[in-house]
Amino acid sequence: MTARPHAVIIGMMGAGKTRVGKEVAHMLRLPFADADVEIEHEVGMKIPAYFDKHGEPAFREVEADLIADFLEDCDGIFSLGGGAPMTPSTQEALVDYIAQGGCVVYLDADPKEAMERANRGGGRPMLNGDANARWKKL
C-alpha cells in the first residue's frame, strides 16, 4: 500500500518551503521530507557538487525521479526544490497527484526578502553569478 503526501510545498528559492514544511509537519504530527535533502542522500553529495560534476540536466533527471517516487510513497509533508516544478515530468506528476486529491501549496514570498534568504543560504547553483538577477529571471 502506498501513501501520498498530505501536502506538497512548492515556491521560489528562499520562500521558506523547508521552514514552513517542518512547522506544519510538526503541528500535524506528520513526517517531513525535503526533496533537496533526499536527493543529496540519493547521489551521495551536496547538490552544488552534483551540479558541477554532472550538470543541471542530470540533476533534474534525478530530482524528477525522486519526486515521482515520493509522490507515490510519502506519508507526510513534502517540500520540493525551487526549480523542481520547471521540469515537465515533475509538472505531470504534480498534476496526477492533484487529480488524485493531492494538495499542492505554493508559498509566495516578498521577492526582496526571498532573494535575501536565498543568497544567505548559499549552495544554490541556479543563482551562480549575479544571484539577484538570476533569481528575478527565474
Please check whether residue 31 is in contact with residue 38, taking contact to mean a CB–CB distance below 8 angstroms.
no
73 is a domain residue: yes
* Domain carrying residue 126: 7-137
Q: Return the closest-CA partner of residue 30 out of 78, 71, 68, 70.
A: 78
- The predicted structure's pLDDT at residue 137: 53
In tens, the pLDDT along 27-47 reads: 999 999 999 999 999 999 999
Query: Could you tell me the pTM of the whole model?
Result: 0.83
> pLDDT band for position 127 (50/70/90)?
very low
1 part of a folded domain? no
| CA–CA gap between residue 67 and residue 32 (Å, rounded) | 14
C-alpha cell of residue 17: 518551503
> What number is the average pLDDT over the span 64-76?
95
Does residue 109 sit within a domain? yes
| Grid cell in block for residue 96 | 496526477
For residue 2, being part of any structural domain is answered with no
pLDDT at 123 over 60: no
Residue 124 predicted with pLDDT over 60 = no
In a domain, 44, yes or no: yes
d(C-alpha 116, C-alpha 40), whole Å: 24
Domains of the chain: total: 1
Least confident of 3-12, 16-25, 113-122, 129-138: 129-138
